[in-house]
Each structure stands twice: as structure tokens, then as C-alpha cells.
Structure 1
Amino acid sequence: MTMFSTIRLRAAAVLTGAALALSGCFMTPGKFTSELAITGPDSFTFSYEGEIFFLGLSKLAQMDAANPEAFTPNCYDDETFESRDCTAEEEAIQREEWEAGAAERVEQAKKQAQQMAALMGGIDPSDPKAAEELVRLLQRQKGWDRVVHKGDGVFDISYRVSGTMGHDFTFPMIEGFPQTNPFVQVFLRKGSQVRINAPGFAAQSTDSGGLGTVLGAGSFAGLAAMGAAEQSREAGQNPAAMPGVPVMDGTFTVRAAAGMRILANNTDEGPVAQTGGEALIWRINPRTAQAPTALIAAAP
């Protein structure tokens, strides 16, 4: 891979990451198992076991031009784009331009930190104890039975909640956080129908080469894939992995109890008969292009 490509990919990752974070799209699943059971016309149980990645608390989000140690001279051939050593004059010019923008970068970094804190319920992501604050915040909420920070923005989660179908449901819902990054949504329709969407359990890639724009459906999963293949290919590593960002890998199951009908779904295999009803099963990974969806209704 050329140095020019590396520069573009790194810049794209940082800028896109900032844009996603500041628009509220800053969470993605890692390895997980999730289940939504429609146990009756007016009751449900939902669970999520596994990893959740918070971009704002990761090293990737902290990559910014305000760090003076981040300066690296970059020169490449104008025709082939192959990397080459910079001349002393080229390096001096690049360093001068870098230093000239230092104050602006510092101010921009402060502004982004304030915006991120507003999105994270007042938690300052630059605070070394930010992860501990988030753990305490989640543990106060019902359903979050286990919240452990594994490092670099990755949390090990055990969530389980049961309730009535008298209202819509979204996961995750975090106090003070914007509701713009849902993994799973349940919408109630008239006629005892339930619409289920899981936008956070999908990612879309435009090509196998890794250079296309990747957008997750309300998640950071797509950005984790963008550039990962290129960077890891250069290092001779697994292109599916990007240091610090967990690979989305899991299973989402929707169960419909006896007396409930599955009217529509986009699984590969369709409903599977099980004791006490039927189940829909989606196997989720970075190649999952369509978000799981289903429509379930009470039998007449």
C-alpha cells in the first residue's frame, strides 16, 4: 500500500470517527449474543450478553492533530504515489505548516471534547476516570447487571429486562445520551402487531478491497472495517481486525411464543420451530449488509 493511501485512510478514519461520534453514532457491538422473546401479546424479555464499544472512550477518538508528537513527514512520488524519504527542505516546510496550526488544533480538540461530553451524559471522555463514570452510570439503570471496562472503550455487558408491550422499546438506552444509536428497536403497531428492527447489528461495505466508504446502520461497525483491511494488509495481519476496535460477531434471536405469528422477516432460513413457539436467528458479522427485521402479531 502507498504512503498516500495510508495518509488518506488514517485521516478518513479520524474525521469520520469524529463525525459519527458528534452525531451520536458512537457505539457498536463487538462479540455478543442477544435475544428478544415475545412471550405474549403484551409481554417481552430482552437480553444482551457481550461487548459494546464506545468510540468516545477509545484511543481512536483521541487521535487528533493537537498532539505535537503526532507530526510525521510524509512524501510520495507524484506519479506512482509510492512513499519516499523527504528532503530536509520538504520536512522543514511540513513541520512549519504543522506548528503554524497548533493553536487552532488545540482549540478544535477542546471544542470536540465539550461536544462529546454533552453527548455522553456530561462524562468528559478526556478524563482518565471517564470509563469508571460510565460504569457507575450504567449500573444505576435497571437491566445492566454486569458492566466491566475491558480497556480502550470496550465494555463487557450483561443486560436483561422484561416488561409489557404497552410501549416501544429501544436498546441501548442510557441516561443523558442521545437516542440516535440503537442496536434494537421494538415498535408497537395497531392490531396487536410488533415491528422489530436491529439497525445496530449490520454494516455495509461497497467492495472487497477495503477502500470503499463503509457506513454502519447507526453504528461504528462500518468505520471499524474501513481502512482496517488496508492497514493490516500492509502489516501482514488479519484484515478483519483493527487494533482497539472489536469486530462485530454475534447472534441475534427473536422468539415468538405460541399464539404469536411471524408475519415477515429477513432471515436466510426463516422461522425455526421450537418448543413453545418459533424462532428467528440472525448470525451477525462485518459482512452483514441488512439489518435484522421482523413483524410479529398475536394470532387472531
Structure 2
Amino acid sequence: MNASTRMRTTATAMLSAFALLLTGCFVTPGKFTSELLLDENGSFTFTYDGEIFFLGLSDLAKMEAATEEFEARECYTDEYEVRDCTEAELVEQRAEWDAGAEERAAKAAKDAQEMAKMMGGVDPTDPEAAEELRSLLLRHKGWERVEIKGNGVYDVSYAASGNLTHDFRFPVIEGFPAGTTFVEVILRDDGVVRVNAPGFSAQDEANPMGSMMGGMMGMAALSQLGEGSDSMPELPSMEGTFTIVTNGTIRANNTDEGSTSSARGEVLTWKVDSTSQDAPTALIKLGD
């Protein structure tokens, strides 16, 4: 198998893994800043400013369709060494490929339908898919800015505030799977709040989305298998800061240096990127 074939085969295999593990929808942060303000009276304000990456709308996802062209398989000697295929072998391989055209077309149509179901009805094969997704996000309360940057990347500004009478998660997108959580605020009894940010980690074993994010970082290395630096599409990398500000009592957290004091309250800060091992987490006791 030549280098170009290996690259396409590996990319297609990883795309299949993405689809299986995340039911056709993979959403991750890019470059961002995010803050959660928790008041001891139970009120909160959450903001997220920066990039969000949708794998299904990226050039990487389109690579699978690009592989739907005939390419001869390698031929081997009796000693299992690669040799040039004969003309007859090439004709036979092409005939087999042509015979499977209808089946491949049906599979592609079914995959597109399934992907659309997982993306709030947005068909990623539609040329207007990026704009449709933008419109879908803007219909949701809190999405103040949604700009298309291309290749599945959007620049967004999101803000939500209220009282913690129930759990809070971001992002929540109509029609999308629930497993795309960046940040979650979970209420416990006696005014205790658990904050987890599973989407802000690339290596946390307890975070399947993070594990896939780590796998995405390895996709860039596949470009070395091609014939040039443009063989693989450029993927956005996660790089950002998550901050919690509270005047409640911080019972536990996994920051490197603990909290610092400010006029607004105690501040917890995590700087995260594609090598971050643990998802940010904190346990905070609010007022009675």
C-alpha cells in the first residue's frame, strides 16, 4: 500500500470511528475564553467567546467522499511482495468497483440522512449547511454572535444568566446528541454545586469526547504520509482559558495553583490546550 493510499485509508477509518463513537456529531472547542460566575445567592452568569468546531462540516469529513473514486489495489507476488498489476487484473478490479456503485450511493445517502438527524436537521452535504447551522444556533437563546470561519469552525459569543434552580450545560443545541458538553453545573443538596468541564480536556480517560479530541490531534500527523503539507486539511486546536469566579466556599478543585482573590470573589483559572490531561472540575458550597 503506497503512502497516499495509507493516508486515505487511515483517515476514512478514523472518520468511521468518529461516527460510531459520537453518533455522527463531533463538536469541540477551538481557541476560546470562558467564564462562570457563581454567586452565593444561587445566581450565575456563564459566557463562552471563541471558536466551536463541528467535525461534520469540515474538510476532513469531506475526505471520505473524496475517496469514492476508483483506485487499484496493490498486487502481490507469490512471496507477498508488491508488484505491478497486470492489465487484466486492473480491468477486473475496475469491474468490481463499478458493480458496487449502486450500493455505495445508497450507503452515502443513508449516511447523509443519519448525519442530518444528528445535526438538528442540517444536511452536511448541502452547500448551504454552514449557514443553516448558523441560523439554527442563533435561534437559541444566549447565542449572541455566530460567524462562519469555514472548515466547520464558527466564531461565537454565548452568554446565559439566571438562578441555579436546575442543572446547566453548554452547549445545548436542538436536535444534537447530549454528549457534546463543554461545561456542566450540577446541583447537589445543601447548596453544593459541582462544576465539570469535560469538553476542555483532550486526554481525560473519563471523557470520551476528550479522547477523541486527542485522536484528532494525531490526524495532523497523517499529512506526513501524503505527498505534501496540503494532503490533510488543517484542523483547529483547542487552546483557551476557563475561569470560575465565586463568593461561595470552594471545597475542592483541580487547578494547578488554587484560587486567587479578586474584588468579585475567589477566582479559579484553568489554561487548557490539546495536551491537557484532566478536565477542569470544582466543588463549591453556595450560601444557605
TM-score by length of 2: 0.85
Cα distance in 1 between the residues matched to 2:37 and 2:66: 48
The one-letter code sitting in structure 1 at the alignment partner of 2:20 is A
Once the 2 structures are TM-superposed, how far is the Cα of residue 96 of structure 1 from its aligned partner?
Answer: 3.5
Matched, 1:107 2:106: yes
Aligned to 1:250: 240
Cα distance in 2 between the residues matched to 1:39 and 1:76: 68
The question of whether the paired residues in 2 share the 8 Å contact of 1:170 and 1:182 is answered with yes
Cα distance in 1 between the residues matched to 2:201 and 2:84: 41
Per-residue CA distance 1:147-203 (angstroms, 9 max, x = gap): 011112111101111111111100001122222211111100001011011111111
Aligned to 1:209: none
Q: 1:203 to 1:77 in 2, by over 3 A?
A: farther
Aligned to 2:129: 130
Question: Which consecutive segments of 4 or more residues in structure 1 shift more than 6 A?
Answer: 81-85
Matched, 1:228 2:227: no
Cα distance in 1 between the residues matched to 2:154 and 2:81: 39
Cα distance in 1 between the residues matched to 2:182 and 2:82: 41
Aligned to 1:279: 267
The one-letter code sitting in structure 2 at the alignment partner of 1:27 is V
Question: After the TM superposition, which residues 260-299 of structure 1 pair with which residues of structure 2 at under 5 Å, given as runs?
Answer: 260-298=248-286
Unpaired segments of 5 or more residues in structure 1?
A: 207-214
The question of whether the paired residues in 2 share the 8 Å contact of 1:180 and 1:218 is answered with no
The alignment-based identity, stated in percent, is 49
Higher percent of residues as helix: 2
Aligned to 1:162: 161
RMSD over aligned Cα atoms: 3.1
Cα distance in 2 between the residues matched to 1:144 and 1:73: 48
Cα distance in 1 between the residues matched to 2:88 and 2:260: 68
Unpaired segments of 5 or more residues in structure 2?
A: none
Per-residue CA distance 1:234-274 (angstroms, 9 max, x = gap): 66769xxx6242111111111112xx111111112221222
Once the 2 structures are TM-superposed, how far is the Cα of residue 41 of structure 1 from its aligned partner?
Answer: 3.1
Q: 1:298 to 1:107 in 2, by over 3 A?
A: same
TM-score by length of 1: 0.82
Cα distance in 2 between the residues matched to 1:72 and 1:204: 36
Cα distance in 2 between the residues matched to 1:107 and 1:23: 17
